[in-house]
Structure 1
Amino acid sequence: MGLGETSLKWRCAIFLSFIGFVMMIAAVASTYMATVEIIPNLEKHIGFWYICDDTRTYSCQDFTEYLKEISENSDWVHGCRALVVIGMIIEGLTIVVSVYMAYMAAGMNIGHMVAACSDFVSVVINLIGGLVFLANSMDILQSQLEMDSDPSWSFVVFIISQGLFLIAGGLQVFEACRADS
């Protein structure tokens, strides 16, 4: 069996999963999940790992260390990070299973369902971790600076990547349920 013998839907699912995974890495590595504009063109922003000041000297600090300095609990940060990393591991394994199914075991419906279920589970795990992180980090920015904070471009990339995994899972379910198998 080879990739040429798999359906177009399955190949699209692999492609969408791969693009979603790359986007997810970019979103998690970025420091722009939540941001507040202090004055025009100067802002403070938070990512999963760092909080940064865009001033004349660009400076970043570990987010959990920052929370300790302001006497805030940082357990939720570790929990959100863990959820997102676990979700990304599941997404990576789903891509590996999908490629295996495309090359070695085309036509096995159980493999299609395993890949689809893994996609759906990873999306739920990532959304829980990402949304809790965003809500709490926006609260931290608002309470410390007494200014309104907003989700930033990294959060949008995060949501789009999860949408791609959701579409890929739907394509895999559709492939598993096709009539000619």
Structure 2
Amino acid sequence: MGLGETSVKWRCAVFLSFIGFIMMIAAVASTYFAVVEIIPNLDRHIGFWYICDDTKTYSCQDFVEYLNDIEEGSDWVHGCRALVVIGMIIEGLTIVVSVYMAYMAAGMNIGHMVAACADFVSVVVNMIGGLVFLANSMDILQSQLEMDSDPSWSFVLFIIAQGLFLTAGGIQILEACRTDS
């Protein structure tokens, strides 16, 4: 079976995984995971790697260095980063397995199940890392500035990407359970 003979469901799962992976890269690379608006049009925002102030000079600082400067623990940042990077590696491998399975012979349901399980594991790992990072960074912003902080567009992108991977995993399970192969 070649790529032209794969099912529409499988193609859809690969497409959703690929779009989710691109969204994850954008979400993790951004500095807008959590944000607090100091005054209108002036924000302080945190990403996985940097904390930034929107001023005339637009200054950013490494997030771990910032936490060390304010004498806060930074181990949780390293743990969250590790979980998200591991999740992204699993998601990347899932895409590779999915594309490889497009060329496999019909009836190879074990590949479908491996890809689906990898999708589900990556979602769980990413959600743990992302939610812990969000909660702690919002707490840091609130304690430092004594203002309410909110999740930002990068976190929304992160959640949408996880939803796409969850959907792709469900489609792969349906493909593995189909009876005509």
Describe the SS at the equivalent of 1:103: coil
Consecutive unaligned residues in structure 2, runs of 5 or more? none
* Structure 2 match to 1:76: 76
2:155 aligned partner: 155
Q: 1:106, CA displacement in angstroms? A: 4.0
Alpha-carbon shift at residue 4 of structure 1 (Å): 1.1
2-structure distance, mates of 1:105, 1:24: 31
1:109 alignment counterpart: 109
Could you report, residue by residue, the CA deviation over 1:29-85 in whole angstroms, capped at 9, with x for unpaired residues?
Answer: 000000000000000000000000001110100000000000000000000000000
Structure 2 counterpart of 1:120: 120
Moved over 6 A (4+): none
Q: 1:107: how far off?
A: 2.9
- Give the equivalent residue in structure 2 for 1:31: 31
**Partner of residue 49, structure 1:** 49
- Separation in 1, partners of 2:38, 2:149: 10
- Supply the RMSD in Å over aligned alpha carbons: 0.7
SS in structure 2 at match of 1:23 = helix
Does the CA contact (< 8 Å) of 1:68 and 1:74 recur in 2?
yes
**Superposition deviation, residue 105 in structure 1:** 3.9
When the two structures are aligned, how many residues end up with a matched partner? Answer: 181
Whole-Å separation in 1 of the counterparts to 2:51 and 2:159: 21
Normalising by structure 2, report the TM-score.
0.99
Given residue 115 of structure 1, which amino acid in structure 2 is its aligned partner? A
Aligned equivalents of 2:165 and 2:2: distance in 1? 23
* 8 Å CA contact retained: 1:5, 1:106: no
Percent identical residues:
87
Secondary structure in 2 aligned to 1:36? strand
